[in-house]
Amino acid sequence: MKSLISPLLTLLLLVPFQSVNAQKKKKNKTNYTPLSVSLDAFQLRNVGPAFLSGRIADIKFHPKNESIWYVATGSSGVWKTVNAGTTWSPIFDDESSYSTGCITLDPSNPEIVWVGTGENVGGRHVAYGDGIYRSENGGKTWTNMGLRKSEHISEIIVHPDNSNIVWVAVQGPLWTKGGERGLYKTIDGGTSWKKVLGNNQWTGVTDLMIDPRNPNILYAATWDRHRTVAALMGGGPGTAIYRSDNGGDNWKILKTGLPNNPDSNNDGVIDDDDSPRRNMGKIGLAISPQNPDVVYAAIELDRKSGAVYRSENRGESWEKMSNTVSGGTGPHYYQELYASPHQFDRLYLMNVRVLTSEDGGETFVQLQEKDKHSDNHAIVFKKDDPDYIMLGTDAGIYESFDLAETWRYVKNLPLTQFYKVAVNNAKPFYHIFGGTQDNGSAGGPSATDEQEGIANKHWYKTLGADGHQSATDPVYNDIIYGEYQQGVLFRVDLTTGEKVSIQPKARQGEPHERFNWDAPILVSPHNPKRLYFASYRVWKSESRGDDWEPVSGDLTRNEDRLTLPIMGRKQSWDNAWDVGAMSNYNTITSLAESPIQEGLLYAGTDDGFIQVSENGGDSWREIPVTNLGLAPRTFVNDIKADLFDANTVYVSLDNHKEGDFNPYLFKSTDKGQTWSSISSNIPERTLIWRMVQDPVKKNLLFAATEFGIYTSLNGGKSWQILDGAPTISFRDLTIQKRENDLVAASFGRGFFILDDYSALREFTKDNLNQKGKLFTPRAAKWFVPRSKIGNTGADYYFAKNPKYGAVFTYHLADDYKTAEKIRRDKEIELNKRNANINFPGWEALDAEREEEPAHVILTIQDKEGNVINKISKRASDGSHRIAWDFSHFNPYPVSESTRYSRSGALAKPGFYQASLALVKNGEVTPLDGPVSFEVKAIREGVLKGIGYEEYNTYLNEISELYNNISAVEDVLSESIKMQKAMANALKRAKILPGSIEPKIAGLKADLIRIKKSISGSPSKSEVGEKNPSGLDNYLYNATLGLRDTYGPTALHMKSLEIAKKLLADLRTEVISISKNKIPEIEKDLKEAGAPYIMGQGID
């Protein structure tokens, strides 16, 4: 019969595939074959950091327990703490959106939690959601309740007395018209929704309030907005304030006294006496808790101006209090307004720095924010503490217990939004660098030699402001390049801390140099001194940025952005334009140079061009993205020149800012003349940000997408998602070649690392057809982990180090379920069909109870072939990892109850080999190996230790000593038990007292004396008095010579010799007792008619 395994695996490597876990995570992204190559061994590792945290969208306290907080984040899902921020749990990681805008707890039942996905800011970097979610168990599980086309939800209010009535303010899509936008109401707990306010294709609802006295009274602020790559239209005729007096079924627009009132002088006539009607932008609403007839509105007006208005009659008329408005990048990014629950007319307006008023908005001052990050979005108060406030910012959460005089930072929330990532070649652990949203640029280690892992203290800032792309010098690990928005570029010397400004400047008489918000920098693969940087043109430096020359003209469309359509048409100058918070438009977004052909350059733009130069920039060939079958202004996210073929190039594109969320990844094998799509089975609505190619295996690719990292083993014919990360956006990828690590920048959870993915290069059909395949690992880093810091409290943040030791990847072709598992799986299926389940029989049940699960054994041998350790793991099909922690076998004794024990002595650096075997039903089947690998010390000790042979000799002597002393102690222990049992038996002996008692007493005295010679006086030990050194002391001191590989000192060796001598003497005496004295007394007792003694054996 022909084997079917090989054709099947060939199919698996060619057809689209996605892991079961990935299908679970992305419930709306199905329609893929369930067949897959197992990637279970390849788990992403999050390395933080947390010291920068990230953007907070909303915070809610549990109404009955203010130590329970729920936090909605802009790009990291929802987090929960039950101990006031001491520890945190992400509770939204398996849902299909990671961007959240608001969170609400049901007043009638706080275990019911509502989350609106898609944050309500108008930023260029904002992510999109897929509707409203509800949890009925405090966030343990979630259900999407609809409004899937909303993309951005502003606010959710649950009726205070009826959990089935919920109102949702939906701002709707940012980048396109339509979708679901307006105010929605449900009266059946979210089963169905009715739109009760809003019908404009550009108008959504940005804020919503409820009267605390009367839940039928609601206030809503609508907002016209549309963002494109080029501009933001942040207001329009649909922007207004409304009130409903019947629970949202009907609404009244409120105009009197507001800027959108055409009858501004309230004379009942709209005429020339009225002021010109002004554009209104984003509006924040607040209602006075002390007097709910008083309502407030912070209103954005033209050109980032604005005003705060106050009404004392539930919005019937308004009074302008001041010209206050949030600033920074624009009111579209802030503008949330809060009224204090503790003092009437005290207001807080979210802003770069919080603005606060004590007089209902007439005057505002900045809140004290010393030692605190800026960019505030949410505030929380405590009911019974007027001095307490909590603020959610772009850098996480801050608490004040003295009304903003001082602040406590919650520094254990790893929410950082990284745009880009770079790595250097530092030893022993390379460092990772990247730029963040509003938290500057940072660097830190990929691992540490500390037991706990990577702490906040290991990270450092390299630049401030909004960080973007970083790059590293391939020669000098302490030279990096970093930038903040609009191409402000620096060369940073990490040794001195100096930051040299190296941004190229327009020459005299040239126009303003348009840099993208995230301008691309490239270190040439042919010359480490050569840099490329881009604005609307490409710049080149041969001096690490000290001087620049342009090597292209304008490679973009070079347009006036205000002439382009927005909100569906070209707009008047007088409308609500805002380009101040934008990137420049008509800019270059990506650069690449072929590592094969020097001077073969590629540039991609934000307005739909791919540009190619084959002569170092002397001339350029323009490729419109329409040649790829895409919309003419599709954004070029990334270009990568192939690492093996000068003719091949890859490009990732993105059109979500025109409302098209499809993945676009193309490949050309003729330098851009023709293109083919390789996005294959990457799901819809999954933007592709970056792609990297493995430097060893041409067809091994990785893609960073809006919802995870995908890998392809066949050049893009099919893709599979990697596990180990939540639903999160990954904006960039790079490969650390020395370590075979994939390093990823997530936009909401910091950096991730796929440690040593090199086994994927060997995922061929032949290898996967094998019953078991053991892949060669990278060289293992040998070090003694540094002691724990200790006593840090539970809120001290640590990210995980890689698994300590030599880590092996292996693959098993077959599954090894136990009989019990097979039976239970069958019964689950029968239960689903409500079918009969037959009794398996007593013999089958007994067999299940007696069966040992199949397991694999990894055997480690030194260079002489000596077996020094074996590691076991339960066997199951697919790919797995197993680690050897550099330890020898533990010499401690074992018994029938021994399950595991501590590691033995530390093996020395050197060369080793590993083999893999399967154990099933007592039979051992060799699977693969031996594979050779190296254990390398990450640093040399100051003092040289003993040699490998001498160390091993000492280790063997210690092991032999442990075996011998264990045997002596075991016999001694059994002898003590037997002496006590014989004393009991003597009491029932059928003879007169006097003949056997002295023998038993003498035996007892001998045993006590021997035990004291080993472990000392129990009376002294009881009160802490020191005993003279005995066998235990000398043995312990001898073993201290094996806690490191410096090796035993002369002191350790002397202790070993003394222990051996003491043991020899004790061994002779214990054997004599066991072989002579005890049998003699046993014989006497038997002749005296004493009862049988348990453990005595059979004659």
Q: How many CA atoms lie within 13 A of 837 on its CB side?
A: 12
> DSSP secondary structure string, 263-325?
STT-SS--STTSPPP-----EEEEE-SS-TT-EEEEEE-GGG-EEEEEESSTTSS-EEEE---
> Contact, 794 vs 88, CB < 8 A?
no
Element (H, E) at 613: strand 609-613
Nearest to 449 by CA among 787, 794, 935: 787
Alpha carbons 758 and 766: distance in angstroms, whole number: 17
- Predicted confidence (pLDDT) per residue in 638-676, tens digit: 999 999 999 999 999 999 999 999 999 999 999 999 999
Q: Is the pTM of this model over 0.85?
A: yes
Residue 768 structure tokens = 């996967």
Residue 306 structure tokens = 């604005």
Residue 740, SS3? coil
Q: What is the largest CA-CA distance in the chain?
A: 133
- Can you give the pLDDT at residue 13? 39
The helices-and-strands tally (H runs, E runs) of the chain is 11, 69
Which ranges of the chain have pLDDT less than 50?
1-35
Parallel, antiparallel, or unpaired for β 923-937 and 780-782?
A: parallel
- Can you give the pLDDT at residue 8? 33
Alpha carbons 625 and 675: distance in angstroms, whole number: 10
- Can you give the pLDDT at residue 22? 37
- Predicted confidence (pLDDT) per residue in 424-483, tens digit: 999 999 999 999 999 999 999 999 999 999 999 999 999 998 999 999 999 999 999 999
Nearest to 704 by CA among 629, 630, 654: 654
Alpha carbons 364 and 347: distance in angstroms, whole number: 9
Query: 754 has which bridge partners?
Result: 742
CA 621 to chain centre: 41
Alpha carbons 428 and 780: distance in angstroms, whole number: 11
Residue 716 structure tokens = 């893009």
- Listed in sequence order, the residues at least 6 apart from 506 whose beta carbon sits closer than 8 Å to its beta carbon are 512, 513
